[in-house]
A and B are shown apart, each in its own frame.
Chain A
Amino acid sequence: MMATRNAIGLVAVVVGVALMVPLQGWAQSPVAGSAGEEPAGIQVPPPPFTEGIFPCSECHKDLPVNVQRRQLVDMHDDIVLNHGPKTRWCFDCHNPGDRDRLRLASGELIEFTQSYRLCGQCHGDKLRDWKVGVHGKRTGSWNGKKQYLLCAHCHNPHSPRFKALKPLPPPVRPGLIGGEKGGTR
């Protein structure tokens, strides 16, 4: 009896907190909440959600959960999934029960602001380097506070391979650097 009430109360608190966070904006200090083992002070900007897509539970709280591996047609059909082997699909990372969170292999649910922990499960060496600033990007001060960019800020988690860029113009060849009268040639 007591245990059930406590459990319901705990769930209510957790759900309440989860719903409050989007109201404050995401870009805040490390959520001390779920796990205690990430280094203190990993500041990140807001995760790069598509406009209006978050919170996911807005739609998904009323939709039935279908864990069948399939090609999506009604929604999210613009997502090209090209991450690893062909057997990979949405629920390898996303959490069917609570769409506003991601799910680690242990079953632990994490916020999108800590998505690096999910990536780090497979890409552990990148996570290790990222935490000390060797992989990826940190902005801010070299001798002070820094802000990290999430993995997802550079790598599209659904199709992580970088697209090629057009390079900026090459330098002018020395023979073409202008001369005045009586100049180069």
Chain B
Amino acid sequence: MERIRNFIRFIVDSAKHVASGNRYYYAWVGFLLAIMAGGAVAYASQINHGLIVTSMRDQVSWGFYIGNFTFLVGVAAAAIMLVIPAYVYEWEPIKEVTILGEILAIAALLMCFGFVTVDIGRPDRVWHITPLVGTFNFPSSLLAWDVVALNGYLLLNWIVVTYMLYCAYTGRHYRKGIVYPLVLLSIPMAVSIHTVTAYLFNGLAARPFWNVSILAPKFLASAFCSGPAILLVLLQILRKTTRLQVKDEAIFKVAELMAYTMGFNLFLTAAEAFKEFYSNTNEKVFTEYLYFGYQGHQTLVPFAWASLLCGVAAFILFVIPRTRKNWVTLNLGCLLIYSSVYIEKGMGLIIPGLTPDTLGDIYEYRPSLTEVGVAAGIFAAGFLAFTFMLKVAVPIMLGEFRGGRNPAREPTSPR
């Protein structure tokens, strides 16, 4: 009983924390809410008229929404770039900030669910996909696997984060016996969410651009090399704006790991290019459309090359210790790799997979204003959720936010 009352107090206190802040906080939250309102209006138009307000048509039946979904699953999976050094190698400097990675994963997953929901034609029938209540085509359909994996990973992260924060809030030390197994479990689960998402595309024999064995490894490599970029930037921001202590070496170590995954990602890109252009079968037409244009259609070409060059530049900046340890070039590298992978997993994956279509038709897809509006709304919602969670978590980590029955115990950050 006491526990429940404590927990409720924790929730209420957290809500109070979220609702109060300085003017920069209000400005930021207001800005996000404004974008969300715009997104809601755009989505209302979509509900009213149907998906015809997007630019998707039969030939390119998946577009901006699914592209963002795929990218964000990768971001969610990237939390393990913090978890592995922290919990497998017991590296203290990262351990104290691992929770931020898990919070990022939660926010990313919420956005993933948002994107999938706005993409389906009948959102009123979403319940059809619920196991036991609807008809769940498991294990045949990879989308069903995705539902299981994503929800499982979300639940896992939610439990770990809530438990650790609650323990810190009540001044107790969390129980290793609970946290360690869950956190270690999150490593294969993070791999699994992105593998399942890759298999979703990979299993389609109808789409030769996706039906390649390299897809799952490539997804993982690009996720791990780009997701932590947000965390690196976030850690620097939190260091400056709060009393949170983050050692330089933690940031640089994550950056170093990212450098290796970036290199691997570039290697896989080169492997794809070799197979397509050397073997020179008809299947190269998709990669050709992406990088060189096909039959005069060239919409994606500048983006494809921008993505490649940004990726190479980021790799160079990260792999050379001097530029990795320089704050300017590090942050530049973060921006570059993030943009590179955003293009690669979004328009660089979905559109070429569907263009030319199965009967050779070419429809050049460009997201409509409504699609961009809805997507912006979802991103804003994700950022808002992320902000709210940080607004609670960081003070708890700093020991500034305490409550419950044991206020006098170890006011250290959650370990």
**Which residues in A have some Cβ–Cβ distance to B below 8 Å?**
173-175, 177-185
Contact B364 A183 (CB under 8 A): no
Contact partner of A177 among B45, B49, B57, CB < 8 A?
A: B57
Q: How far is the CA of A184 from the CA of B45 in the complex (A)?
A: 13
Give min CB distance, A171 to chain B, whole Å.
9
14 examples of A-B residue contacts, CB within 8 angstroms: A174-B58, A175-B364, A177-B52, A179-B52, A179-B53, A179-B54, A179-B55, A180-B52, A182-B42, A182-B45, A182-B368, A182-B370, A183-B53, A183-B368
CB < 8 Å neighbour of A185 from B48, B58, B366? B366
- Please report the C-alpha to C-alpha distance between residue A80 and residue B49 in the assembled complex, in whole angstroms: 58
Return the chain B residue nearest A175 by Cβ.
B363
Judging by beta carbons under 8 Å apart, are A174 and B363 in contact? Answer: yes
Partner of A181, one of B53, B57, B58: B53
Residue tally, chain B, CB below 8 Å to A? 20
Give the residue of B59, B366, B368 whose beta carbon is less than 8 angstroms from that of A174: B59
The verdict on A183 contacting B57 (CB below 8 Å), with A174-B363, A175-B363 known, is: no
- Determine whether B126 belongs to the interface, using a CB cutoff of 8 Å to chain A: no
Known interface pairs A174-B59, A174-B363; A181-B45 also in contact (CB < 8 Å): yes
> Across the interface, do B368 and A184 meet the contact criterion of CB distance under 8 Å?
yes
Bound form: Cα–Cα A179–B57 in Å: 10
- Contact B49–A180 (Cβ < 8 Å): yes
Shortest CB–CB separation between residue B313 and chain A, in angstroms? Answer: 32
- A175-B364, A183-B370 given; 11 more Cβ-contact pairs under 8 Å: A174-B58, A174-B363, A175-B57, A175-B363, A178-B52, A179-B52, A182-B42, A183-B368, A184-B368, A185-B55, A185-B368
**Interchain CA distance A174-B55 in the complex, whole Å:** 9
Residues 345-378 of B, flagged 1 when their CB comes within 8 A of A and 0 if not, give 0000000000000000101101011100100000
Residues of A within 8 A of B48 (CB): 180
Task: Give the shortest distance, in Å, between B61 (CB) and chain A (any CB).
Answer: 10
Residues in chain B near residue A174, CB distance under 8 A: 57-60, 361, 363
Contacts of B373 in A (CB 8 A): 182
Q: Which residue of A lies closest to B57 (CB)?
A: A174
Measured CB to CB, the closest approach of chain B to A110, in angstroms, equals: 47
CA distance A185 to B363 in the complex (A): 13
Specify which chain B residues have a CB less than 8 angstroms from the CB of A177 in the assembled complex: 52, 57
Q: How far does the alpha carbon of A182 sit from the alpha carbon of B361 in the complex, in Å?
A: 25
* Closest-CB distance, B397 to chain A (whole angstroms): 42
- The residues of B that contact A173 with a CB separation of less than 8 Å are 363
When C-beta atoms are compared, the residue in chain A nearest to B41 turns out to be A182
Cβ contact within 8 Å between A183 and B52: yes
Q: Which residues of A contact B361 (CB under 8 A)?
A: 174
Q: Looking at the assembled complex, report how far the CB atom of A40 sits from the nearest CB atom of chain B, in whole angstroms.
A: 43
For B37-78 the 0/1 string (1 means CB < 8 A from A) is: 000001001001100111101111000000000000000000
B41 to A: closest C-beta gap in Å = 10
Please give me the residue from chain A that is nearest to B59 by CB atom. Answer: A174
| Residue from A173, A175, A179, A181 having most chain B Cβ neighbours under 10 A | A179
Instruction: Give the residue name and chain of the B residue nearest to A173 (CB).
Output: B363
Residue of B nearest to A181 (CB): B45
Residue of B nearest to A176 (CB): B57
Contact B45 A180 (CB under 8 A): yes
Structural contact, B57 and A182, CB atoms closer than 8 A: no
A175 to B363, CA, bound (A): 7
CA distance in complex: A184, B370 (Å): 9
* Contact A180–B368 (Cβ < 8 Å): no
Residues of B within 8 A of A185 (CB): 55, 366, 368
What is the minimal beta-carbon distance from B125 to any residue of chain A, in angstroms?
22
Complexed CA–CA distance, A177 and B373 (Å): 21
Q: How far is the CA of A109 from the CA of B53 in the complex (A)?
A: 69
Residues of A within 8 A of B60 (CB): 174
Instruction: Find chain B residues with CB under 8 A from A183 CB.
Output: 52-53, 55, 368, 370
Chain B residue at minimum C-beta to C-beta distance from A178: B52
Residues of B within 8 A of A180 (CB): 45, 48-49, 52-53
Question: Closest Cβ of chain A: how far from B102's Cβ, in Å?
Answer: 36
| Residue in chain B with minimal CB distance to A184 | B55
Q: Within the assembled complex, what's the spacing in Å between the Cα atoms of A164 and B368?
A: 42
> Complex Cα distance A185/B368, Å?
5
Give complex CA distance A185, B369 in Å: 7
**Measured between alpha carbons, how far is A181 from B45 in the docked complex, in Å?**
8
Shortest Cβ distance from residue B355 to the other chain A in the assembled complex, whole angstroms: 11
Which single residue of chain B is at the shortest CB-CB distance from A174? B57
In the complex, what distance in Å separates the CA atom of A185 from the CA atom of B42? 15
Query: Which residues of chain B (271-311) have a CB below 8 Å from chain A?
Result: none
Q: Lowest 8 A-B CB distances belong to which pairs?
A: A174-B57, A182-B370, A180-B49, A174-B363, A182-B369, A184-B55, A174-B59, A180-B53
A177–B58 CA distance with the chains assembled, in angstroms: 10
Q: Are A182's CB and B53's CB within 8 A? A: yes
Residues from chain A with a CB closer than 8 A to the CB of B369 are: 182
Instruction: Give A181 to B370 CA distance when docked, in angstroms.
Output: 8
Task: Please report the C-alpha to C-alpha distance between residue A182 and residue B375 in the assembled complex, in whole angstroms.
Answer: 14
A184 contacts across to B, CB distance below 8 A: 55, 368
